[in-house]
Amino acid sequence: MSVDLAVVPVAGLGTRLLPATKSQPKEMLPIGRRPVVQYVVEELSRAGVRRILFITGYGKSSIEDFFDINQQLITNLRRSGKEDQLAELAFERNEVEYAYTRQREQLGLGHAVLVGEPFVGSQPFVCALGDSIIGLQAKSRIVERMIEEFERTKADVIVAFEELTNPAEVVHYGIAQPKGPVTNDIFELESLVEKPAVDEAPSNLAVAARYVFSPAIFDELRRTPRGKGGEIQLTDAMRQVLANGGKGIGIRLPADEPRFDIGNFESYFQAFVDFALADPQFGPGLETYLRKKLDKS
């Protein structure tokens, strides 16, 4: 059976986006018309994912409300004949089954994924970080390609990578150590390192928030000590799976499927502008507005 299960960690505190995230999850911030997490779910559902386990945490309950069916709103819109607005709620009825559990302590991304183990058990699964969108309007096929690659190779770890153009940015991401020179979009992974110093980075390929794992990841997560920032790092557990002889595959994101990282204001603002400009109804008007404004400055 194809991989149809995804774990979506959404428990991070979003402190780099304060005060916007003081009383709402960063995953619910709008990018254009939709909250970030809606794009993530659409991307997964397009890739064939049918079951999503969110790893939530304190203050994240609006994510559950969002994917629920709001019968009262539907009734109100129907009564007042607002069919266009009703159509915006069609996502409530997509074929995905949602489950939620909470990471009760902030012990890091690796720990958040481990919290999913009692639900996932011994199945392979996709892991998609809830604060990153891949591709404009989430129109990326990366997860589908990763699942295909998993089925072909039965690797233990498959990771999407974004090529960083600015080498100084390696300090913010997990970084790939490929086996040999990378001549192809799909390559073998020797190892990985979490947020290395610029002069210690083994490549400029940054972990881009999408993974496919065999259940071997849980065995390692259970014994992964705290690493960078005092947190249990997913990257450290992946490195250990590979060190034990597990197979790792990297897939480079195509240039036309960039990653939008909603973890800091700089990339949040850029993502918002890109998505708003791509809006079929309001994009062209916004472009005229921005051009006029920028011409004046």
Minimum distance of ligand G1P from residue 282's CB (angstroms): 28
Minimum distance of ligand G1P from residue 237's CB (angstroms): 11
| Residue whose CB is nearest to ligand G1P in the complex, by number | 174
Q: Which residues pair with 212 in a beta bridge?
A: 126, 158
Minimum distance of ligand G1P from residue 99's CB (angstroms): 22
Angle of helix 283-296 relative to helix 265-277, nearest 10 degrees, comes to: 120
70 versus 106: smaller Cβ distance to ligand G1P: 106
Q: Is 123 left (phi over 0), alpha (psi -120 to 50) or beta?
A: beta
Residues 92-121 that bind ligand G1P (CB under 6 A): 109
How many CA atoms are closer than 13 Å to the CA of 51, on its beta-carbon side?
11
Return the residue of 194, 220, 236, 257 that touches ligand G1P, per CB under 6 A.
194
77 versus 116: smaller Cβ distance to ligand G1P: 116
Minimum distance of ligand G1P from residue 89's CB (angstroms): 29
Judging by beta carbons within 10 Å of its beta carbon (0-12, 13-18, 19+), is residue 142 exposed, middle or buried? buried
Q: Give every CB contact of residue 167 below 8 A, 6+ residues apart in sequence.
A: 198, 201, 204
Q: Give every CB contact of residue 75 below 8 A, 6+ residues apart in sequence.
A: none
Residues 223-282 that bind ligand G1P (CB under 6 A): 233-235, 261, 263
DSSP, collapsed to helix, strand or coil, labels residue 191 as: strand
Query: Is 129 an interacting residue with respect to ligand G1P (CB under 6 A)?
Result: yes
Residue 249, H or E segment? strand 248-252
Residues in binding contact with ligand G1P, number by CB under 6 A: 14
First to last CA, the chain: 57
Residues 136-155 that bind ligand G1P (CB under 6 A): none
Q: Which two tokens stand for residue 244?
A: 């034990």
Interacting stretch for ligand G1P, rule CB under 6 A, among 26-34, 116-124, 203-211, 217-225? 203-211
137 versus 235: smaller Cβ distance to ligand G1P: 235
Minimum distance of ligand G1P from residue 110's CB (angstroms): 8
x/- track of binding to ligand G1P for residues 151-190 (CB under 6 A):
----------------------xx----------------
Q: Which amino acid is at 192?
A: L
Which of 73, 55, 77 is CA-nearest to residue 64?
A: 55
Minimum distance of ligand G1P from residue 140's CB (angstroms): 15
21 versus 132: smaller Cβ distance to ligand G1P: 132
Minimum distance of ligand G1P from residue 264's CB (angstroms): 9
94 versus 106: smaller Cβ distance to ligand G1P: 106
Q: Which residues pair with 252 in a beta bridge?
A: 161
Q: Cβ(127)–Cβ(211) under 8 Å?
A: yes
Bridge pairing between strands 125-128 and 205-213: antiparallel
15 versus 75: smaller Cβ distance to ligand G1P: 15
Residues 44-61 as b or e (16 or more Cβ within 10 Å = b): bbebebebbbbbbbeebe
Minimum distance of ligand G1P from residue 192's CB (angstroms): 8
Q: Write out the residues near ligand G1P by the rule CB under 6 A.
A: 109, 129, 132, 173-174, 194, 206-207, 209, 233-235, 261, 263
